[in-house]
Chains A and B, each alone.
Chain A
Amino acid sequence: MKLPRFNFWGLFWGTLALLYFFVPMYGTLDFSLRMQKGLISLRAYQIVLADPQFVESFLYSVTMGVITVIVSILIFMPTTYWIYLKLPKLRPLVEIITILPFIIPVIVYVFGLIRTFSRPPFLLTLSPLGTDFLIAGGYVILSMPYMFRAIDVGMRAIDVRTLTEASQSLGGNWLQTLVNVILPNLRVALLSGSLITFATVIGELILADFLFRPAFGPYMTSIGTTKAYEPAALTIMSFALTWICLGIIQLISRGDTSQQLTGR
């Protein structure tokens, strides 16, 4: 018996899903272009881009995103390396810790941060710099499941032990091994983890909103309550940003290190 090439229900559900994906996107795009009555224009985008508050909040979030990515890599890469090399028995515990941010809703988490760090002995929220420090730490925690998973997957695909022994027999110390041997082998994993972390920080609303810092998320919310067309333009822009991040991940994983992403 020959199976039919296409299956009606397969096509049906696939088409329905495509509609669910694209109709809101198209609707938003269409809406964002109709600020001037009766004609298609980029007016809403011009207004958004010319808004000094947009520039300020976007730059703030980009800066926080970069800081979060750097701190995340500095903490999670050596830790994961160390666990693979010396403490494999610790891995289940670390794995559970890294999924905790999924269990604690962000709104609950920020509640805890405020209760802990807005009073002595750990008072941090008094100055903008202290608050930024707190928010950056919070972002590292929130993106931890993604970053840790990315590094973990990358680390699993390479033979950490053999690479380390080879490096050590050539006289490298552990820092040299980590920077010169492990890091280059992990660049695909690190880049994809970084991009997801970055995208998370850019879109994040709650931490900055409740700690009163001028990030992109709170800016979008405030625009949403007062304007009609600009929010649509902002949505398309933030969606494009996510697309770019995802596109880069796809592009780099197709290169010579492609076996790393398929190694999972």
Chain B
Amino acid sequence: MSNSHHPLVSKKTGILNNLKTWIGVIPFFVFIFIFLVLPSTNLFIGAFQDTQGNLTFENIIGLKDPAILKAYSVSLQVSIITSLVGCVFGFFVAYAITIGKAPKWMRNILMTFSGLAANFGGVPLAFAFIATVGRTGFITAVLKNICFPNPEGILSCPLDIYENGFTLYGILGLTLAYTYFEFPLMVLIITPALEGLKRDWREASDNLGASSLQYWRYVAFPILWPSILGAGLLLFGSAFGAYATAQALTGGSIYLVTILIGQQIRGDVLGNPNLGYALALGMVVIMSITIGGYTILQRRTARWLKS
């Protein structure tokens, strides 16, 4: 034991030393307490109170409300679809950047744009997609004008997407828009992992007579899956918590949890303010599981990337 000072002396100087050691981080913790801990705990407490301030679990039970369950199911649906699409597409793009040997200029643009697009969200993202594949958008107009005369001599325009049931202002549109920041995020996360795949492993696998498919199935994928799953969780989380893009794209007509919370803040649409807090708490619980899982998997990946 190195700390075998006299107990009385060390206690007194200990407190003073402690204060001196801790003084530099006090502003940070005060700030965090006021602007992060206080609002969060307040919301948390609200979820377990009735309007008179008594302890209750009614709000949590109240989440069974069909309107709330529907919001959660639409949110989960959108987040799962977009994170799957983003994951798969982003993986192949990262593959193109690393093992796929895309030309150098292409790799540079892809990496730069991934950094940019992963942070591109909110209202401008919605506007960009409205201007491109909205009802009067650029691509919509181009596709609409691709027409062929059918056997009877009448022009048919098979690519008029809005005539064929497409709409940007729903789940499909939201998926298209979210993918714009989701797949670049995947590229940013998974590229280092793909770069970490050693060339020797591939060569060893080839020498043992394995096919390309077998290499991916038995060598690369077992190494990569924690990174892929972790990235998928992060992508899920970023879609699940998004509000601004959905609000600007659909005008609030899509039934997501974030949109419902927004309406609750503005006008207590649920008819019980404390039910709103429970709704928010539910989101934080799902996000904690998601980001927690991501962090654990990320640590695992960091370990083998280092070695």
Interface residues in chain A, defined as those with a beta carbon under 8 Å from any beta carbon in chain B: 3-7, 9-18, 20-21, 23-28, 30-32, 75-76, 78-79, 81-83, 86-87, 90, 94, 97, 99-117, 122, 137-138, 140-141, 196, 199-200, 203-206, 210, 217, 220-221, 224-225, 228, 231-232, 234-235, 238-239, 242-243, 246
**Contact between chains at B131 and A32 (CB < 8 Å):** yes
Residues in A neighbouring B93, C-beta threshold 8 A: 13-14, 16-17
Q: Which residue of A lies closest to B285 (CB)?
A: A103
Choose among A10, A27, A101, A238 the residue that contacts B102 (Cβ–Cβ < 8 A). A10
**Contact between chains at A78 and B95 (CB < 8 Å):** no
Stretch at the interface among B60-68, B103-111, B153-161: B103-111
Interface residues in chain B, defined as those with a beta carbon under 8 Å from any beta carbon in chain A: 21-22, 24-25, 27-28, 31-32, 34-36, 38-40, 42-43, 46, 89, 92-93, 95-97, 99-103, 106-107, 109-110, 112-113, 115-117, 119-124, 126-133, 136-139, 179-180, 183, 187, 237, 240-244, 247-248, 251, 258, 261-262, 264-266, 276-277, 280, 283-284, 287-288, 291, 295
Residues in A neighbouring B179, C-beta threshold 8 A: 20
Residues in B neighbouring A27, C-beta threshold 8 A: 128, 131-133, 137-139
Residues in B neighbouring A78, C-beta threshold 8 A: 24, 27
**Contact between chains at B43 and A234 (CB < 8 Å):** no
**Contact between chains at B124 and A234 (CB < 8 Å):** yes
**Contact between chains at A90 and B106 (CB < 8 Å):** no
**Contact between chains at B180 and A112 (CB < 8 Å):** no
Residues in B neighbouring A138, C-beta threshold 8 A: 35
**Contact between chains at B138 and A31 (CB < 8 Å):** yes
Residues in B neighbouring A104, C-beta threshold 8 A: 40, 284, 287
**Contact between chains at A231 and B132 (CB < 8 Å):** no
**Contact between chains at B244 and A10 (CB < 8 Å):** no
Residues in A neighbouring B25, C-beta threshold 8 A: 79, 82-83, 87, 90, 94
Q: Which residue of B lies closest to A3 (CB)?
A: B101
**Contact between chains at B116 and A246 (CB < 8 Å):** yes
Judged by DSSP, the binding face of B is helix
Query: How far does the alpha carbon of A87 sit from the alpha carbon of B288 in the complex, in Å?
Result: 27
**Contact between chains at A112 and B124 (CB < 8 Å):** no
Query: How far does the alpha carbon of A225 sit from the alpha carbon of B242 in the complex, in Å?
Result: 19
A168 CB to closest chain B CB (Å) equals 15
Residues in B neighbouring A75, C-beta threshold 8 A: 27-28, 31
Residues in A neighbouring B243, C-beta threshold 8 A: 105-107, 205-206
Choose among B24, B124, B133, B240 the residue that contacts A239 (Cβ–Cβ < 8 A). B124
Query: How far does the alpha carbon of A32 sit from the alpha carbon of B137 in the complex, in Å?
Result: 11
Q: Which residue of B lies closest to A96 (CB)?
A: B295
B170 CB to closest chain A CB (Å) equals 17
Residues in B neighbouring A232, C-beta threshold 8 A: 127-128, 131
Residues in A neighbouring B32, C-beta threshold 8 A: 97
**Contact between chains at A14 and B106 (CB < 8 Å):** yes
Query: How far does the alpha carbon of A20 sit from the alpha carbon of B180 in the complex, in Å?
Result: 7
Query: How far does the alpha carbon of A137 sit from the alpha carbon of B32 in the complex, in Å?
Result: 10
**Contact between chains at B106 and A239 (CB < 8 Å):** no
